[in-house]
Every structure is written in structure tokens, then in C-alpha cells.
């Protein structure tokens, strides 16, 4: 019951990896199933620590060892936070050999801000959320091949960074791609605002191509599910010189808006060009949009695959 009460009181949405310590009583076997029902869509790991009632009182060492295997360490977390102090894209100085987190928009000049003033538990982000990206550098000694901007999925309601975006950016960096995980805007914002965020991230990477050791023509965007759809939205409607004034006439363009938001390639993992759950069949629009080579990965059993086959 304490586990269930905790989850009901704090709304994590479907964006958390939730490990739990639980006793091995009669209800232990149903704990993970029940958590999944309370937090639908949450990524449940199979590494929960289960103790019998008789072991609980003397379980300190076992819990500590279990937690250490999860990578929980307050000292390391603090060091990571200090190393990843936020900077702003308009004035940021790239750190090509170190991880870096960069706000995409200047404070007070983010286009299309909603009238969202309070998080009642239904949104992944608080009202003061500012989109940002996290840079994963290519390891020293590895040949740099280009750059990839990664967008996690989450139905435009949250960002599944833990099991999609983060691991993918890390793996791509090891393969020689300067990688950027984009934390774009999600609900109550729309796909359009998210596409502006991605376009802004592309502009920053292109503007600093020399520092990152890449050719400005070797920049790709990719994503999973909603993140892939977002990549398509950016390429279809927010590439080139399109800027924030498209959605918000109050937005004040800056030097980055003079940089193209074009990408040379796209990757769509169980996603497509279109809207959420609705692949576009506008062949004429796709034909005139000068889209880059796009890699699709989708299971044949997914109904949307049939829509994709039409185009």
C-alpha cells in the first residue's frame, strides 16, 4: 500500500523508470503489474529488489548494494550537475570534448508561449520549462563522421529519454557522430512548437560546425515515434530560414535565425511524415518539399505501415 499511495500522490506520468524495494509477502508478485496500471506506459525494469518480511530489518547492506548497481550516487549526481551547467544557444561557446546542456531560446524570447500557468499533474513539464539540448561528444580518438539530433518519443505528452533518446545519443557518439538529445516542448504545446525547437537546435549545430569538427552538410535529425514525427514536421514546414515569427509575430529573430535549419538526412523509428497516428498521404506536398534521404523502421503489423505504403 505505501508504494501505491506514493504513486497516486506523485504523478510521474509515463516518463519514469521506477525501481522499487518491496517485501516478499503475498502481494509481491503483483507489485510491478499494479505499478504499471497506476503509471501506464512507464518503463518498468526487472531489477526490483524483493525481500522477505523476515529480512527487512537487516536489509541495509542488501539495499545499498542493489542501489549502487542502479548507478544511484549523490556525489556523482552533483558532479554531473556542476559539469552540465546550462548555457544559452545565442551566446553558447561549444565544448566539443565535454558534455554540455544548452537552452535553445533566450529567456523572454521563446516563440509561441502558451497560457499555461500551473502544472496540475497532467503535464510532463512545469510552466517555466525552457527547451534545451544535451551534447554527447564523440570520444577522443574516434573519427568524427557528422552530427545527429535525437528526439525521444512520448506521444507529444512526455519525452522517453531514459530508454530511447539518451542511450541512442550515447551509442551514436561512440560510432563517431556528434550527438544532441533535444528536449523539445510537449503538451500543452503542439507539434509545431516542438518543430521550432528542433529547428533552433539544428541552427546551433550548423552555426558551430567547425568547432564540432563536422561539415555543415552532414547534420541529420532522427527520432522515435513522436520524435520521428517531429523530425518530419521540422523538415516539411520549419526548415530553411523559417523562424519563430511563423507562429508568433512577437518573436524577435537573432543571429541564429540567419542560419539554415536544413538537415541532410532523417531517421524515423516507428514514425512517419504526418501528424500523431496519422501518416500524411499528400504525395504532392512531399514531392515539392525537397526532403532529404530518410530511413524508416516500422513493423509490418503496425496499421500505419499500410498508410506509408501508399506513398
- The answer to whether residues 176 and 253 belong to one domain is yes
- The answer to whether residues 246 and 108 belong to one domain is yes
As a residue count, the chain comes to: 311
Task: Answer with the one of 38, 69, 100 that is the final residue of a domain.
Answer: 69
- The answer to whether residues 21 and 101 belong to one domain is no
- The answer to whether residues 62 and 83 belong to one domain is no
Extract the runs of DSSP E, i.e. beta strands, from 39-144: 49-51, 86-88, 100-103, 132-136
pLDDT at 13: 47
- The answer to whether residues 225 and 248 belong to one domain is yes
- The answer to whether residues 50 and 182 belong to one domain is no
The model's pLDDT over 196-254, given as tens digits with 9 standing for 90+, comes to: 999 999 999 999 999 999 999 999 999 999 999 999 999 999 999 999 999 999 999 99
The model's pLDDT over 136-148, given as tens digits with 9 standing for 90+, comes to: 999 999 999 999 9
CATH assignment at residue 174: 3.40.50
Range of the domain at 117: 78-309
- The pTM (predicted TM-score) of the whole model is 0.73
SS3 assignment, position 96: coil
Which phi and psi (to 5°) does residue 68 adopt?
Answer: -65, -30
Instruction: Give residues with Cβ within 8 angstroms of 35, minimum separation 6.
Output: 3, 4, 7, 18, 20, 42, 44
Please give the residue that has the higher pLDDT: either 291 or 51.
291
- The answer to whether residues 62 and 86 belong to one domain is no
Residue with cell 523562424: 243
- The answer to whether residues 94 and 26 belong to one domain is no
**Which region among 30-39, 95-104, 125-134, 284-293 has the lowest average model confidence (pLDDT)?**
30-39
pLDDT at 118: 80
Number of domains comprising the chain: 2
Angle, helix 226-237 to helix 191-207, in steps of 10 degrees? 70
Q: How far apart are CA 14 and CA 153, in angstroms?
A: 11
- The answer to whether residues 84 and 224 belong to one domain is yes
- The answer to whether residues 99 and 172 belong to one domain is yes
- The answer to whether residues 52 and 102 belong to one domain is no
Task: Answer with the one of 69, 96, 127 that is the final residue of a domain.
Answer: 69
Amino acid at each position: 500500500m505505501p508504494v501505491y499511495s506514493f504513486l497516486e500522490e506523485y504523478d510521474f506520468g509515463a516518463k519514469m523508470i521506477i525501481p522499487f524495494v518491496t517485501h516478499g509477502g503475498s502481494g509481491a508478485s503483483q507489485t510491478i503489474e499494479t505499478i504499471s496500471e497506476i503509471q501506464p506506459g512507464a518503463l518498468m525494469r526487472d531489477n526490483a529488489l524483493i525481500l522477505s518480511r523476515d529480512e527487512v530489518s537487516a536489509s541495509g547492506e542488501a539495499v545499498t548494494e542493489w542501489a549502487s548497481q542502479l548507478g544511484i550516487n549523490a556525489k556523482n549526481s552533483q558532479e554531473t550537475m556542476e559539469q552540465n551547467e546550462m548555457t544559452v544557444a545565442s551566446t553558447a561557446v561549444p565544448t566539443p570534448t565535454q558534455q554540455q546542456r544548452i537552452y535553445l531560446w533566450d529567456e523572454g524570447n521563446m516563440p509561441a508561449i502558451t497560457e499555461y500557468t500551473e502544472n496540475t499533474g497532467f503535464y510532463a513539464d512545469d510552466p517555466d520549462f525552457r527547451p534545451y539540448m544535451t551534447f554527447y561528444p564523440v570520444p577522443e580518438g574516434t573519427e568524427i563522421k557528422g552530427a545527429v539530433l535525437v528526439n525521444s518519443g512520448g506521444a507529444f505528452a512526455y519525452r522517453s529519454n531514459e530508454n530511447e533518446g539518451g542511450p541512442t545519443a550515447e551509442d551514436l557518439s561512440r560510432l563517431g557522430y556528434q550527438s544532441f538529445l533535444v528536449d523539445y516542448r510537449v503538451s500543452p504545446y503542439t507539434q509545431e512548437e516542438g518543430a521550432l525547437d528542433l529547428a533552433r537546435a539544428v541552427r546551433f549545430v550548423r552555426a558551430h560546425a567547425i568547432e564540432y569538427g563536422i561539415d555543415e552538410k552532414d547534420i541529420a535529425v532522427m527520432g522515435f515515434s513522436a520524435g520521428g514525427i517531429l523530425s518530419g514536421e521540422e523538415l516539411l514546414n520549419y526548415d530553411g530560414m523559417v523562424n519563430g515569427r511563423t507562429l508568433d509575430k512577437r518573436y524577435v529573430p537573432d543571429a541564429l535565425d540567419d542560419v539554415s535549419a536544413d538537415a541532410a538526412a532523417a531517421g524515423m523509428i516507428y514514425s512517419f511524415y504526418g501528424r500523431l497516428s496519422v501518416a500524411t498521404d499528400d504525395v504532392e506536398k512531399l514531392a515539392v518539399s525537397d526532403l532529404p534521404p530518410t530511413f524508416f523502421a516500422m513493423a509490418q503489423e503496425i496499421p500505419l505501415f499500410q498508410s506509408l505504403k501508399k506513398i
